[in-house]
Structure 1
Amino acid sequence: MAEQHDPRHGSRNGPQVPPGVEIKAPAGPDGQDSILTPDALALLADLHRRFEPRRQQRLAARIERQAFYDAGGLPDFRADTAALRDADWRVAPLPAALLDRRVEITGPVDPKMVINALNSGANCYMADFEDSTAPTWGNLLAGQHALRDAVAGTLSFTSEAGKAYALKPFAEQAVLMVRPRGWHLDEKHLRVDGAPIAGSLFDAALFCFHNADVLAAKDRGPYLYLPKLQSMEEAQLWEDVLGHIEQVLGLDAGRIKVTVLIETLPAVFEMDEILHALRGRIAGLNCGRWDYVFSYIKTFRAHRDRVLPERGQVTMTQPFLRAYSELLIQTCHRRGAHAMGGMAAQIPISGDEQANAVALGKVRADKLREVTAGHDGTWVAHPALIPLAREVFDERMPGKHQQDVLRAEVTVTRDDLIKPSLGTITRAGFEGNVEVCVRYLAAWLDGNGCVPIHHLMEDAATAEIARAQLWSWLHHARLPVGQVPPGEGLHLDDGTPVDFALLERAFIGLPARLGDRARLPGGSRINEAIGVLDRLTHADTLEDFLTLPAYARLD
């Protein structure tokens, strides 16, 4: 029998909890017991025992592959799967609800966001347990509760100011899709046989357990977005997990449909293989471009010749990003899957019509680029951008999708996908990265995973770009004598050396940039966030994910 715990830890280890299961968490929100039922916990324990060894094998394979890159190796297409890439095959037909995905919105899983996103007028809403949700125990369980109520049609919310929020009729709602956490993240609050369960299993299995029957009856899934995959073997692990969930829940094989985010550099070389591993349930691939840029930096952390310029200059017009987008479209359409475009992170700017017009002009140009290239849909971070994105796609994509745009003329090589980028590092770009990292991390530590900063919606993916760039710039600037020719250290465009003195000056100047901390999300944790960023940037090795060391500070 599992050990009894203090009631303030959410007394969940009585006879109704399966043997070997422990919940080590503060008391959860109202409704916790209705989410963590004995049968739900039994499913989680079963999944952990079946698949945790394979998850650990895949995480170890990531470490081995990164060591190859650190030693000077370059990613490439796999020789052992060349026949699969050359063969003619297609994924299973798409369900009716996923044929038209021209505008998708994403955001965290709090009740207000869930209602607003489902009511937003977008075709689909990706409820995000990953990059835009800080995984506190309360956030996770409240999110599962909100999604269950939304699927049941009973979700409502009243703000502190008394404003009431309610769902529109089901036929007017966006199609619900859920993004669980990636394979690399643990759920420390739930342990099975003494080990933490994978966050991915916790999020996906609980959502399916509570909602699969209702969604299947409405021919709405369940539908998932799968993040951070790096290989076909990781996709196969998801295939086996979801197949087992279907069997346990009595669902038809392939009922759970998925879209995979191609947001790591290794994965772009295995898109055919990932589609094939999930061919009975996959609906498409998505250009998760912010995480993709972060992955490029991380993959080439030891390659001085592939250091990226500041974030604002790393746009989809950079050759390596354009090649990635075009290859994704070609690959998806050849196999009968959707090729989804990337995120517009802009937030409408009230009170400044000129600045707002410039921001919306950037969104329009980006969406026009996507639809012209052949994407079947796109993402926005704010509901106010939905009409603009829809207008652009409606004009150029009159049908539900454009899988007939095969892009047969596209030829993308290994070198195209890893081509170095031209650009500069400005003082504003350096200091902006520091500010974004600190402000986002402070908010995340305070339980908020999605933060508006300077009219952009920042989440873990964009913060990771800023954090990884700082590490990359600082460490390539201080390579030992002999590795960097004299006078060739990294400099800002005004000639200032990029070094830790520059970082220290940015930290010192940060209070003036921030102003009144009390008005900022997580303002009371700014100093803590500065300390975390300082340690991460001074570390000899680039930490794989910002959220790994920060997670220990949650709850």
Structure 2
Amino acid sequence: MVSFETFLPTNNPVQRKNSGTMGYDVPEGVDIRGRYDPEFSKILTRDALQFVTDLQREFRNHIKYAMEGRREAKLRYNNGGLPGFDPATKYIREGEWVCAPVPAAVADRRVEITGPVERKMVINALNSGAKVFMADFEDALSPSWENLMRGHVNLRDAVNRTITFHDQARNKVYKLNDQTAKLFVRPRGWHLPEAHIFIDGEPATGCLVDFGLYFFHSYANFRKAQGQGFGPFFYLPKMEHSREARIWNNVFDRAEKWAGIEKGSIRATVLIETLPAVFQMNEILYELRDHSVGLNCGRWDYIFSYVKTFQGHPDRLLPDRVQVGMAQHFMRSYSDLLIHTCHKRDVHAMGGMAAQIPIRDDPAANEAALELVRKDKLREVKAGHDGTWAAHPGLIPACMEVFTNNMTNAPNQIHSMKRQDASVLIEEDLLQSPRGVRTMEGLRLNTRVGIQYLAAWLTGAGSVPLYNLMEDAATAEISRVQNWQWLKYGVELDGDGLGVKVNLDLFGRVVEEEMARIEREVGKEKFKKGMYKEACKLFTRQCTTPILDDFLTLDAYNNIVMYHPIRSSRL
């Protein structure tokens, strides 16, 4: 767990105190250090905080144990070890068990849209025509106090169907349609703290805050007339081992018992987005078998995890990130095994993200981008996926058309696409080194995207359109760790950079030149007002550090923590 001292106020110029005269009514042992707001206080009620506090106290030692397991695994990999299937759980992988039946409410998940919990985004996503909207407190959100609390206000209003938004510039009011997407919520990963809420003297676990506040304010709506399997629904990120799934299962059991709703009412999809987790898919589903509605190919984070897992292996260097797609053998094997595993266990196998966004000023380029999306989705549905992700509402019709036209037994392929061939996959299929070239343009693109994303993140935006793609923390992580890997091992570049090795001098020149390019592209005034220089320092430090940090956002987080000088009140 992150220590108390990590998130104390520093001389960081971004971190500052806010003025105020009121405090939140909190249970014993709880201290709220974020800005007081009357609307936030309706989320941070004493009872809601007590529910979060009880979860924190019951599960914090289990979380610490799971994080220690991650550290031990990392040490093994850094010393030359490889991830693989656990012989001790072979009986689970070879057993004939299945998960609880998929509820009718979420049987059809052909297209899911994802995005941050910003108010207008929530309305548009729920109205988008997608089957599911995944409201994201994780990779698509910069977790400032304001973003988090407003996000919970927005989700409460969405569940209550009272959410509206008045766009002053367009003089347009947004509200929910009669038919909307099913709402799933993605809390943060186990590793992330919530430094604005202290419980018993240490920062709360971010995901328990996200889950606890949303569940507390939404469960009654799901309880009214729905019963088992009708929600709330969640997406669970960044797992590395089934012991982490076991914690979530126990959290769900605890929440259902507290709320008096039927066991199995809460359902969750797990993102398989770390390399160690691909060897634990059966075990993860087994732990969550009463609460599972499948697994998802979180492919961008999976690429990031491949580099992170093999940071000590100079024989497993990535080519340019644009070349690491689903045609790579290790990526295709990962997808095939996920489909096989999910369908064997009678749950959804969800495809990956289409990160393209509409190119409004260039119809030819827009059509070319849409064609790439169609080809990717056709590959997914033919492989056996039951649905897919899109980052923008404009992609939903194309994705829906592909899945509808090629999925003969809608609403899903769980029982019609039992993949037998994936059972012959061996560990090396999942570990094979990716093939391709490493170029100067790849180094430049990583640097340009990483700096611009961080600049946006530091100013409150966690989902950023860059170069006709929607970038989030996962794609920024790829940029960071690939630069770090190339620097560490002095990669010799291909193409125009033939014979040139990546070193600190070269990287320094690239950073300087790409900063100049960013200034030209965004304009001098925006560059001056933005946090590009701060982002550059942070990104450069992350790329050149001798020891790779586990997550970019952990290092950046202290830059957006803002403490309130008035402590919480206990009335």
TM-score, L = length of structure 2? 0.91
Unaligned runs of 5+ in 2: 1-16, 563-571
Q: Secondary structure at the match of 1:125?
A: strand
Amino acid corresponding to residue 495 of structure 2 in structure 1: D
| Structure 1 partner of 2:13 | none
Q: Is the alpha carbon distance of 1:34 and 1:295 closer, same or farther for their aligned partners in structure 2, counting shifts above 3 Å?
A: same
Shift of 1:166: 2.8
Following superposition of structure 1 onto structure 2, how do residues 132-531 of structure 1 map, counting pairs within 5 Å?
Answer: 132-170=140-178, 172-217=179-224, 219=226, 220-398=230-408, 399-403=410-414, 404-410=416-422, 411-477=424-490, 489-494=491-496, 495=498, 496-514=500-518, 515=520, 516-517=522-523, 524-531=530-537
Q: Is the alpha carbon distance of 1:519 and 1:77 closer, same or farther for their aligned partners in structure 2, counting shifts above 3 Å?
A: farther
Q: Secondary structure at the match of 1:212?
A: helix
CA distance in 2, matches of 1:392, 1:519: 43
Following superposition of structure 1 onto structure 2, how do residues 74-93 of structure 1 map, counting pairs within 5 Å?
Answer: 74-93=82-101
Amino acid corresponding to residue 212 of structure 1 in structure 2: Y
Q: Say whether the 8 Å CA contact 2:163–2:176 is kept in structure 1.
A: no
Q: Secondary structure at the match of 2:425?
A: coil
CA distance in 1, matches of 2:506, 2:441: 12
Aligned residue pairs: how many? 535
The counterpart of 2:48, out of the listed 37, 40, 64, is 40
CA distance in 2, matches of 1:136, 1:222: 24
CA RMSD of aligned residues (A): 1.6
CA distance in 1, matches of 2:494, 2:264: 52
CA distance in 2, matches of 1:309, 1:182: 28
CA distance in 2, matches of 1:497, 1:244: 54
CA distance in 2, matches of 1:86, 1:167: 49
CA distance in 2, matches of 1:218, 1:311: 47
* Greater CA drift, 208-217 or 252-261: 208-217
Amino acid corresponding to residue 497 of structure 1 in structure 2: K
Shift of 1:253: 1.0
Q: Say whether the 8 Å CA contact 2:448–2:515 is kept in structure 1.
A: no
Shift of 1:351: 1.8
Unaligned runs of 5+ in 1: 1-5, 478-488
Amino acid corresponding to residue 221 of structure 1 in structure 2: G
Q: Is the alpha carbon distance of 1:519 and 1:114 closer, same or farther for their aligned partners in structure 2, counting shifts above 3 Å?
A: farther
What whole-Å deviation, never above 9, does each CA across 1:246-289 have from its counterpart, x for those lacking one? 11122211111000000000000000000000000100100000
CA distance in 1, matches of 2:184, 2:387: 15
Q: Say whether the 8 Å CA contact 1:9–1:25 is kept in structure 2.
A: no
CA distance in 2, matches of 1:218, 1:200: 27
Shift of 1:492: 3.7
Q: Say whether the 8 Å CA contact 2:23–2:36 is kept in structure 1.
A: no
Q: Say whether the 8 Å CA contact 1:181–1:227 is kept in structure 2.
A: yes
Amino acid corresponding to residue 198 of structure 2 in structure 1: R
Q: Secondary structure at the match of 1:80?
A: helix
Q: Say whether the 8 Å CA contact 1:442–1:522 is kept in structure 2.
A: no
Q: Is the alpha carbon distance of 1:24 and 1:10 closer, same or farther for their aligned partners in structure 2, counting shifts above 3 Å?
A: farther
Shift of 1:497: 1.6
Q: Secondary structure at the match of 2:268?
A: strand
The counterpart of 1:26, out of the listed 24, 35, 51, is 35
What whole-Å deviation, never above 9, does each CA across 1:418-454 have from its counterpart, x for those lacking one? 0001111122211010011000001001011000000
Shift of 1:216: 3.2
Q: Say whether the 8 Å CA contact 1:180–1:226 is kept in structure 2.
A: yes
CA distance in 2, matches of 1:415, 1:299: 15
Q: Secondary structure at the match of 1:112?
A: helix
Amino acid corresponding to residue 504 of structure 2 in structure 1: F
* Greater CA drift, 519-528 or 468-477: 519-528
Amino acid corresponding to residue 493 of structure 1 in structure 2: G
CA distance in 1, matches of 2:527, 2:40: 26
Q: Say whether the 8 Å CA contact 2:477–2:552 is kept in structure 1.
A: yes
CA distance in 1, matches of 2:82, 2:21: 48
| Structure 2 partner of 1:3 | none
TM-score, L = length of structure 1? 0.94
| Structure 2 partner of 1:12 | 23
| Structure 1 partner of 2:12 | none
What whole-Å deviation, never above 9, does each CA across 1:486-533 have from its counterpart, x for those lacking one? xxx532433122112221111111233222346769952000000001
Q: Secondary structure at the match of 1:157?
A: strand
Q: Secondary structure at the match of 1:190?
A: strand
Shift of 1:389: 0.2
Q: Say whether the 8 Å CA contact 1:518–1:524 is kept in structure 2.
A: no
CA distance in 1, matches of 2:488, 2:190: 28
Amino acid corresponding to residue 355 of structure 1 in structure 2: A
Q: Secondary structure at the match of 1:306?
A: coil
| Structure 1 partner of 2:7 | none
Q: Say whether the 8 Å CA contact 2:319–2:437 is kept in structure 1.
A: yes
Q: Say whether the 8 Å CA contact 1:69–1:299 is kept in structure 2.
A: yes
Q: Say whether the 8 Å CA contact 1:442–1:521 is kept in structure 2.
A: no
Shift of 1:412: 1.1
Percent sequence identity is 47
CA distance in 1, matches of 2:426, 2:373: 29
Amino acid corresponding to residue 400 of structure 1 in structure 2: P
Q: Say whether the 8 Å CA contact 2:348–2:386 is kept in structure 1.
A: yes
CA distance in 1, matches of 2:169, 2:444: 36
Q: Say whether the 8 Å CA contact 1:216–1:222 is kept in structure 2.
A: no
| Structure 2 partner of 1:70 | 78
Q: Is the alpha carbon distance of 1:178 and 1:518 closer, same or farther for their aligned partners in structure 2, counting shifts above 3 Å?
A: farther
Shift of 1:142: 0.3
Q: Is the alpha carbon distance of 1:280 and 1:531 closer, same or farther for their aligned partners in structure 2, counting shifts above 3 Å?
A: same
Q: Is the alpha carbon distance of 1:348 and 1:320 closer, same or farther for their aligned partners in structure 2, counting shifts above 3 Å?
A: same
Amino acid corresponding to residue 386 of structure 1 in structure 2: I
Question: Does 2:548 align with 1:542?
Answer: yes
| Structure 2 partner of 1:481 | none
CA distance in 1, matches of 2:296, 2:283: 15
Shift of 1:213: 1.2
Amino acid corresponding to residue 295 of structure 1 in structure 2: S
Amino acid corresponding to residue 12 of structure 1 in structure 2: G
